[in-house]
């Protein structure tokens, strides 16, 4: 009966594995005194209490109860607390820029205080009277440590340069933090990429992903095998616990069924890595696109002659195959209102400007006219005579010429029909744009493409199904809009417009995509 009454008072509650109570340090009582909940206070966000009870964890609406006990918060002078842990690349550069942009946007004063080598705190105060509004505490180390802190209940948000591992996600579920691979549990804060770099003056200016993987596996050891001088290759990467190094293993090495060589020189920071490569004429490294320093960046190529260069647009569209989304992972529990307000800000147009100024690739949609995509159409023409005929290419040009491609694209996990992590974030982004009326006066077409494996007719059918599935995901996310009232359609051209060579897993994954094309109605 008590549990039923508690549930009546709560706006919502989440049951997790029951743990023995350490102390009965709060008592929440209904105004008439008929219902009482005792337990250990786990958190208060300014609106809701999170309490560990004999029934599990309950989240209770603070407006419907009175709190008594030594752990009860000061409701009059409540200060929002948020703990963030993980990647130093995100924590030292991007998050401070966003917090200061957030403060400027809403008229707060943001002050940063360094505690030690890995900890700092941002305090947010009202500009008018200096009253303390919130305290954001950061621990900046690496992605592994961020997830460890979350699982130990020492962090509210994780900063990550890679996707959460299946084992980490399973533990998070078991701890009552929800499915962190699910919708709204992760968000892409900004975009980066893994780029191969060499010292200035190195004659090698391009490399295939397959060859790059063989280099870092220790299978290719001399520059002459890459078209360079007869000299041994020295390899450089970030430290093994960094998100960037782990993303290299996940995105570059694993598809090639290779592991990183033990002779790779490791570095604690991106700056140290790029400096070491720049100073060594026979070095090669894989660095962050945002921190290449004075090093030369190699173009990714393939045996078919297609090439892919890392750039702001190619990273944003995921046309460049080694993109590195910068994630925030958020557990399934309420954060303080100020924290939620900050997270909303990170997706705003103002935040995208901050992200660009900080040196990273933002997610603001851009429009790419067909006239600026000559390389792609040259690729399509070069394949004529295989399974792609001139009639299909003419149809593609006729359909797409009046429209512009949006930089918001969708790609799929290797060997799966499920969207990858960046694309899941893009679903939410596009849904919000539709909800706010950005495309009310425009026609929008979801265009599916495929790799060249298998018959062309079958690939076209698969591409259409992918376009349909992405549209369905956007419809589900755009809860406040009836998309049937908008001018939205699907189209597919299968393998007619390849982005990369089909001779590798990376190239095929780049080619399997859904693009968004739009034009003004009337």
Q: List domains and CATH numbers for the chain.
A: 2-68 (2.30.30), 80-185+330-340 (3.40.190), 192-316 (3.40.190.10), 365-520 (3.30.1330.60)
Which residues touch 3 (CB under 8 Å, ≥6 apart)?
55
Return d(Cα 491, Cα 403) in angstroms, integer.
Answer: 13
Helix 421-435 with 456-477: angle, nearest 10 deg: 60
Rounded to a whole number of angstroms, the CA Rg of the chain reads 26
Exposed/middle/buried for residue 452 (C-beta within 10 Å: 0-12, 13-18, 19+): buried
Return d(Cα 42, Cα 53) in angstroms, integer.
Answer: 10
Which residues touch 91 (CB under 8 Å, ≥6 apart)?
84, 138, 139, 140, 159
* Interstrand relation of 513-520 and 442-449 (parallel, antiparallel or unpaired): antiparallel
Return d(Cα 372, Cα 515) in angstroms, integer.
Answer: 16
Q: Which tens digits make up the pLDDT trace of 214-224?
A: 999 999 999 99
Residue spans of alpha helices (H) in 280-348: 312-316, 337-345
**pLDDT tens track of the chain, all 522 residues?**
444 434 433 433 333 333 333 445 899 998 888 889 999 988 788 888 889 898 888 888 887 888 999 888 877 778 899 999 999 989 999 999 999 999 999 999 999 999 999 999 999 999 988 999 999 999 999 999 999 999 998 999 999 999 899 999 999 999 989 999 877 788 899 999 999 999 999 999 999 999 999 999 999 999 999 999 999 999 999 999 999 999 999 989 998 899 999 999 999 999 999 999 999 999 999 999 999 999 999 999 887 777 888 999 889 988 888 999 999 999 988 888 899 999 999 999 999 999 999 999 998 888 887 766 656 666 666 665 566 667 777 888 889 888 999 999 999 887 677 888 888 889 988 998 898 888 888 899 999 999 888 888 898 999 999 999 999 999 999 888 887 778 999 999 988 888 888 877 778 888 899 999 999 876
Cβ(420)–Cβ(186) below 8 Å: no
Instruction: Compute, in degrees rounded to 10, the torsion defined by CA atoms 36, 39, 41, 47.
Output: -20
Q: How many whole angstroms from its chain centre is CA 341?
A: 19
Task: Give the model's pLDDT for residue 375.
Answer: 60
Q: Which tens digits make up the pLDDT trace of 170-228?
A: 999 999 899 998 777 888 999 999 999 999 999 999 999 999 999 999 999 999 999 99
Return d(Cα 264, Cα 508) in angstroms, integer.
Answer: 28
Return d(Cα 343, Cα 90) in angstroms, integer.
Answer: 15
Element (H, E) at 167: helix 166-174
- CA separation (Å) from 508 to 16, 179, 211, 256, 406? 42, 29, 16, 13, 21
List, as one string, the DSSP characters of 15-56.
-------S---EEEE-TTSS-EEEEEEEEE-SSEEEEEETTE
- Give the pTM: 0.80
Cβ(496)–Cβ(447) below 8 Å: no
Closest by CA to 237, choosing from 276, 201, 264, 215, is 264
Counts for the chain of helices (H) and strands (E), in that order: 16, 24
């Amino acid at each position: 009966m008590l549990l039923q009454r508690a549930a009546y008072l709560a706006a919502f509650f989440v049951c997790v594995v029951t743990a023995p109570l350490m102390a009965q340090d709060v008592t929440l009582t209904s105004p008439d005194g008929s219902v009482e909940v005792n337990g250990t206070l786990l958190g208060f966000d300014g609106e809701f209490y999170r309490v560990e009870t004999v029934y599990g964890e309950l989240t209770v609406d603070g407006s419907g109860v009175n709190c008594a006990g030594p752990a009860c918060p000061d409701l009059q002078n409540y200060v929002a607390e948020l703990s963030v842990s993980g990647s130093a690349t995100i924590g030292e550069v991007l998050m401070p820029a966003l917090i200061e942009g957030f403060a400027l946007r809403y008229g707060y004063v943001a002050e940063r205080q360094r505690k030690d080598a890995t900890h700092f705190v941002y305090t947010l105060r009202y500009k008018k009277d200096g009253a303390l509004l919130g305290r954001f505490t950061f621990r900046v180390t690496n992605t592994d440590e961020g997830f460890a802190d979350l699982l130990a209940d020492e962090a509210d948000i994780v900063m990550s340069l890679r996707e959460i591992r299946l084992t980490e996600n399973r533990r998070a579920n078991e701890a009552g933090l929800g499915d962190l691979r699910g919708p709204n549990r992760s968000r892409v804060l900004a975009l980066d990429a893994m780029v191969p770099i060499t010292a200035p003056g190195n004659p090698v200016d391009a490399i295939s992903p397959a060859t790059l993987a063989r280099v870092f596996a220790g299978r290719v050891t001399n520059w002459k095998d890459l078209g360079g001088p007869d000299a041994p290759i020295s390899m450089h990467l970030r430290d093994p616990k960094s998100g960037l190094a782990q993303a290299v293993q996940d995105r570059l090495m694993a598809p090639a069924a290779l592991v990183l060589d033990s002779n790779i020189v490791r570095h604690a920071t991106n700056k140290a890595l790029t400096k070491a490569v720049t100073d060594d004429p026979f070095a090669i490294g894989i660095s962050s696109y945002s921190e290449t320093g004075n090093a030369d960046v190699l173009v990714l190529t393939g045996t078919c002659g297609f090439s892919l260069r890392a750039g702001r647009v190619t990273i944003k569209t995921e046309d460049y195959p080694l993109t590195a989304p910068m994630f925030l992972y958020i557990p399934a529990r309420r954060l303080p209102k100020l924290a939620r307000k900050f997270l909303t800000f990170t997706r705003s147009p103002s935040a995208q400007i901050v992200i660009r100024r900080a040196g990273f690739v933002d997610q603001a949609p851009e429009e790419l006219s067909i006239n600026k995509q000559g390389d792609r159409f040259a690729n399509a023409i070069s394949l004529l005579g295989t399974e792609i005929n001139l009639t299909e290419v003419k149809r593609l040009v006729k359909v797409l010429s009046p429209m512009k491609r949006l930089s918001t694209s969708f790609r799929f996990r290797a060997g799966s029909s499920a969207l990858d992590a960046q694309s899941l974030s893009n679903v939410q982004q596009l849904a919000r744009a539709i909800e706010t009326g950005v495309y009310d006066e425009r026609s929008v077409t979801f265009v599916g493409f495929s790799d060249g494996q298998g018959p062309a007719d079958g690939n076209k059918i698969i591409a259409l199904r992918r376009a349909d599935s992405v549209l369905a995901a956007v419809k589900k996310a755009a809860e406040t809009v009836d998309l049937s009232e908008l001018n939205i359609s699907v189209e597919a051209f299968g393998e007619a417009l390849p982005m990369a060579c089909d001779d590798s897993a990376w190239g095929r994954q780049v080619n399997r995509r859904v693009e968004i094309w739009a034009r003004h109605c009337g």
